[in-house]
Each structure stands twice: as structure tokens, then as C-alpha cells.
Structure 1
């Protein structure tokens, strides 16, 4: 008995419990990562209704921005993305497009606001093309964050797909220094790919015909994602400007919706927009593929944040690294609103973010003047 006790004491001195546990923690490091999404802003930067000419609590990036600041305060490791339809949709957008704002070394006020919020990356929506390709390219030049899209190609009109060139950068790999749960800094390579519904080519035919062509989303992702993996992406986020279901007018519906994109091996997380809906949505019935109660589509964490900045999409991930590879242990998806309903009354959850309010003040005044002049021009 005494001999066994002596052996145990010697082992505890040679191999302390703290040391063994420490090795286990080092062997399988874990980290928490918060991914934020805005989508379908349609130039509703301020909480102002230009149709009814009044302020509102129901939408506006200036209010969503306050949710973004809260989300970042609560989680050190945070990424912010936009999923398209930014520069068309209200009087502010029309004012900018009809003025010389962009041609006097200025930046589109929507992207200027997004620069202030330090977005990590964004993709293109179908309405980005409504004012033409030149206006779009001039606008995104002012963004301090990269744009990605993988399935829009230059139309070389040679009917040979193998030599097609991407119109935008198909993806980017962000090198992020992330703090692990045990307080150590590690490099996380975050791959971001962008995809858009091919109906865009039909809807904006006057701007896009013979200039670009848009290919199948799922097939494009299946080609590109392995390249991202080879370049060392630890986790891949798809920014998808398309709905759960393919657009009705599309001839090729298979592969051109979020459900099909979610089946692509290697995509870990999906942020999507376009249909102005919410995912996950409380009380919505789930199916085998689309599970609102878990916030997953075909087993992949996903979120859709409504429209006009009325919600902020949030996905919280717990990642673990084993054998040199990161994998998702847990996830939680939330479409967080900027208002809540109390006794059938709409109550704001957050106030407008003052830096955006201040920065947008002159653009707002100019938009009001623009509206007045256009009313006077009407017969």
C-alpha cells in the first residue's frame, strides 16, 4: 500500500495534472467567432422615409450600426459582411446616381458609411447593375473592403467556357488574427466567396448583354471552393445574393438557390439575401433541408437579415482545431431586429449611430433638395 502511494506521488511530481490538461488544451484549441451580416440595404442608410418624408424607427443602417457595435463589444472575434443591393432603392440612391457626387473625388455615401463600420468584405446584388456597369465600378472604387463574386464572367462571345475570365475577384482569403478561448492569438484563414442569382442578366439586359454572363451558382462554387481549400482556407463563408428558392423567371432553376449552394462540399457558412426574408424565423415551419429551429440549411449555419437594415444577421460559431484543421463544434444563428413589439406598439431597441448620422447629414439635405426640384419639374 505504501509502495503504491509513493509511486503515485512520484508520478504527480513528474506529470502534474495542470501540465497534462494544458497539453490537451494546446492540442485541441477552440475559439469563438461571430459573423455579422447586412443585406438589401437599398441605400437606406439613415432612418428616414423619403416617400413619406419623415423619420422612422423601422429601418436604416444608422440603427443597424448600433447593433453592430453592441455585437462587437460582446465578442472580440467578429467579422462583418454585406450581401448586396446597396446602391439602388430610394431617393438618396437616385440623387447620387443623377449628380456628380462620385466624380469629384467623393465616395458613394452608402459605401462611405460601410467604410466607417469597417466591413470585412461584400458581394454584389442584382440591383447594383441598375444604373449601369460604369456607375457600379465607379461606386465600389470608394469601398475600403473587397468585393467578391465568382459566377459573373466577362462575355467574350466565343461560346467556349474554359477560357472565361471572372468579372470580379471570385473569392478572397482573409488572414485574421483570432484570440482562442484560452487567450492565445492564432491565425485563421477565412475564405469568402460571392454568388449571385443568374436572373440578374435578364433583368438588367440593357446594361449587361454582350458584356457579362452569369453562370450556375452551385456549379461555379463546386469549381472554386476546392481552389480556396488548396490556398489554405480554414473556413469558407458563402455570400449568396439569392433566395432559398430559385427565381421564377429562371430557365435553369437547379443549382441557382441557397438550398443547392449549401450542398457544396467545403462551404461552412452561408450569408444570403435578395428575397427580403428572414432566416431563421421564429415560428416558421422547418423541413429536412431548411431548419429554422437550428438556424441551418442542409446542416450549414446560415442567416438572412431581412432588408433596409431592419435586422442584423448574427452567426456565433465555436471552432475547434484538430489535426491541423478547424471544424465547427457549435453554431447559433439569429436575425436580430432593430425594433420589438410591446403591447402591439413598435418600440426601438437601439438609437441611430451618431457617426453615420453626422457623416450623412449633407447628403440627406441634398437629397431633400433633389426631391423638391423634381416635384417642381413635374407637370
Structure 2
């Protein structure tokens, strides 16, 4: 009899402990207090203005230069232990250095573009393409990005297969990336966040560089593409999804249809959590500014999504600070702060540099700078002789 009672008591105790464990686990899943701080950094529209040098005025400047924003990047990374760094396009065309590189057969075959030599130092996690990446043609672009130590992504540029009805849509570039980011949570423990990254570009690029796109590539609607791709990213385990969008707040003038091809429309895509954008050389957020419906400069949100735009030519660094909390085994953004941090500040109408140029960057670029000056002299002389 005693054995029977002991057996019943043992079973009862085991069942009680099991039920209690289930309750604790369920409570933990609902109210998991694990949180992390994640900093996302953005550069955009660098246009190969790699040095704080005005080639037209032939003197140094404090108003722009990638070597200055590079110092801001280093500073921002030191301030936060969990960071990701992205570029949103228009890297290889714009400045005299870019023109010199594009005109030199040596670079095409044997050297790394100085823009990528510079960017590689800072440890980018990913980038997307801008419309000016296509100005020198597809061969130049493909050869040049081989020098980048980080992956590129674009989802809405497709192989032009309109004459092949047996062919499915083929993305020309990798449409998205999944980054397994190791982080340290607020408890001081190692954790992991799977970050999805999707790149998108304004479709008017196809018109602007028609000669390079005809019968080769087509660019489809940004929003429709994102709505197709984002669920796949979620299915593959993306905890948060960042959209790198080379398009403005509004659609480009002259392009039809406008709908779906701007940042405001992308912000309405379910599943996209964060937006980094460029193209229009603007700044977002701007303190005190008011935007159209859904655009909140004060909170740095567009339709509720944390968003930033970091100007151009390295004059700003885009920063989004996120707090993520784990709820039901999923990371949820509970807090965000967006900042477009300038490389100068204005005090009593006087412009004062916030950071000095990064010495390592100046060393890397010194040869290219001197060669660009020589190139400009020879070009000027040639133009003079032709006159």
C-alpha cells in the first residue's frame, strides 16, 4: 500500500513540475526581457568625392569629403558595440577622381577603384546600386565592384527576357541578403539577429542609361518587387528587414508610373522594418521640418518605419539606433532614433569641422589625388589646344 501511495505521489509531483515548467516557458516567451541595442549606419551618394578637396577651386574644403565622414563612421562604431554599415549607391561616378579612373585602362584591368579601397577599410556589411553606377556601362560596373570587400544587392533589376516566354524572371544581381549578426545583448550575453537586406533602385535609371539597358536589363516597380521578395526573406528567417532604397521621398519627375517608385510607397510594404535611402541628395530627418502625410521628421519615421538619408559627397552620416526586444522568440523593434549627423556644425554663421579627415584614408588616396590633378591639367591643355 505504501509503495502505491509513494508511486502516486511521485507521479503527481512529476506532473506538477512539468506543468510549472510549461507555465514558466510560456510566460518567458510572452514577456522575454532580452533586449539589444543595434546601430545602423548609412552613407549614400558619395560620388567618389573621397577627399575633402574642391577640384574646381583647387583647395581643401571642410564641407564634404568621404575621408571626413570616415572619421564619423569610426567614431560611431566605437560608441556602439553592435553596428551595421551600409551604402545606398552612387559611388563610382561624379568627381574628377572618378572621371580619371574611368578614363584609365590600367584601372579597368589591374587596380581596385579608390572608392572601394577607401570603403574596404571601414568594414561595410552590404551596399546597393545607384543610377550613376551604370553611367560607364555594365562591363565597367561589374569589373569595378569586384574590388568591394562587401556584397551588393538589388531586387528590381532583371535580365531582359521578354522575348523568351519559357524563361522565368531572373534577377541580374543578388536580390537580397541575410546577415547573421552576432550581438551582445543588454545582459552582456552573446546573441544573434538575422538581418535581411533588400536593395531597390528608381526605375527611371533604365531611361537615363538607355544604351546600357536596351535588350539587356529591365527595372521593375520597386514596391511590387518588394512585396514579392520580402515574404521570402521572412520565410527564410529574417528577424528584421532593412531596405536600401536608391530613390527619393517622391518619385522622379517624368517617370510613369510614379506609384510604387518612391520611399513613401516602400515604407508601406509589410515586413520592411527600416529604410536607408539616397538619390535625391537630401537629408532626413531634419530638425523642425514638416513633411507630407506619414513623414515625421521629429521622430525620424516614415509611415512608422525608422528612416534616414545621409545627404551626399560624404557630408553626413546616417545613424539609426534601434532597441530590439525578444517577444515570443522574435525580435521586435521597440524604440528607434534616426539622425543625419553632419561633418560640420555652424556656430554664429561660421562653419566648424566636427571631425578631422581620417589619416589612413588620406594615405590610401594620395597617389590617386596627385594623378587626378595631372589628369585635369592634361585635359585642360588638350581642351585649350582644340580651341
TM-score normalised to structure 1 length: 0.92
- 1:228 to 2:233 alignment: yes
Contact 2:284-2:307 at 8 Å conserved across structures: yes
Q: Which residue of 2 aligns with 1:70?
A: 75
> 1:250-329 maps to which residues of 2 (within 5 A)?
250-329=255-334
| Alpha-carbon distance change, 160 to 39 in structure 1, aligned in 2, over 3 angstroms | farther
Q: Which residue of 1 aligns with 2:224?
A: 219
Q: Which residue of 2 aligns with 1:369?
A: 374
Structure-1 separation of matches of 2:251 and 2:29: 46
Shift of 1:207: 1.2
- 1:79 to 2:84 alignment: yes
User: What does the per-residue CA deviation read over 1:80-123, in whole Å, with 9 as the maximum and x for residues that have no partner?
Assistant: 00000000001100000000243343111101111111100000
| Alpha-carbon distance change, 49 to 25 in structure 1, aligned in 2, over 3 angstroms | farther
Contact 2:29-2:327 at 8 Å conserved across structures: no
Shift of 1:161: 10
| Alpha-carbon distance change, 161 to 149 in structure 1, aligned in 2, over 3 angstroms | farther
**54, 61, 66: which one aligns with 2:66:** 61
Residues 272-281 or 162-171, more deviating: 162-171
**163, 169, 173: which one aligns with 2:178:** 173
User: What does the per-residue CA deviation read over 1:271-317, in whole Å, with 9 as the maximum and x for residues that have no partner?
Assistant: 00000000001121134310000100000000000000100000000
- 1:120 to 2:153 alignment: no
- 1:164 to 2:190 alignment: no
> Is the radius of gyration larger for structure 1 or structure 2?
2
TM-score normalised to structure 2 length: 0.90
Structure-1 separation of matches of 2:58 and 2:266: 40
- 1:203 to 2:221 alignment: no
Structure-2 separation of matches of 1:255 and 1:305: 22
Say what the alpha-carbon RMSD is for the aligned residues: 2.0
Structure-1 separation of matches of 2:370 and 2:80: 36
SS in 2 for 1:37: strand
Contact 2:118-2:361 at 8 Å conserved across structures: yes
Contact 1:102-1:138 at 8 Å conserved across structures: no
SS in 1 for 2:180: strand
Q: Which residue of 2 aligns with 1:182?
A: 187
Residues 94-103 or 322-331, more deviating: 94-103
Structure-2 separation of matches of 1:244 and 1:211: 28
Q: Which residue of 2 aligns with 1:132?
A: 137
- Gap runs ≥5 in structure 1: 1-18
- 1:106 to 2:111 alignment: yes
Shift of 1:164: 1.4
Shift of 1:28: 2.8
User: What does the per-residue CA deviation read over 1:13-32, in whole Å, with 9 as the maximum and x for residues that have no partner?
Assistant: xxxxxx99xx7999331000
Structure-1 separation of matches of 2:273 and 2:72: 24
| Alpha-carbon distance change, 47 to 323 in structure 1, aligned in 2, over 3 angstroms | same
User: What does the per-residue CA deviation read over 1:231-269, in whole Å, with 9 as the maximum and x for residues that have no partner?
Assistant: 111110000000010001111100000000010010000
Structure-1 separation of matches of 2:256 and 2:166: 19
Contact 2:30-2:327 at 8 Å conserved across structures: no
- 1:41 to 2:46 alignment: yes
**348, 351, 356: which one aligns with 1:343:** 348
Contact 1:101-1:107 at 8 Å conserved across structures: no
Q: Which residue of 1 aligns with 2:363?
A: 358
- Gap runs ≥5 in structure 2: 1-23
Structure-2 separation of matches of 1:280 and 1:214: 28
Name the count of aligned residue pairs.
Answer: 361
Structure-1 separation of matches of 2:268 and 2:166: 23
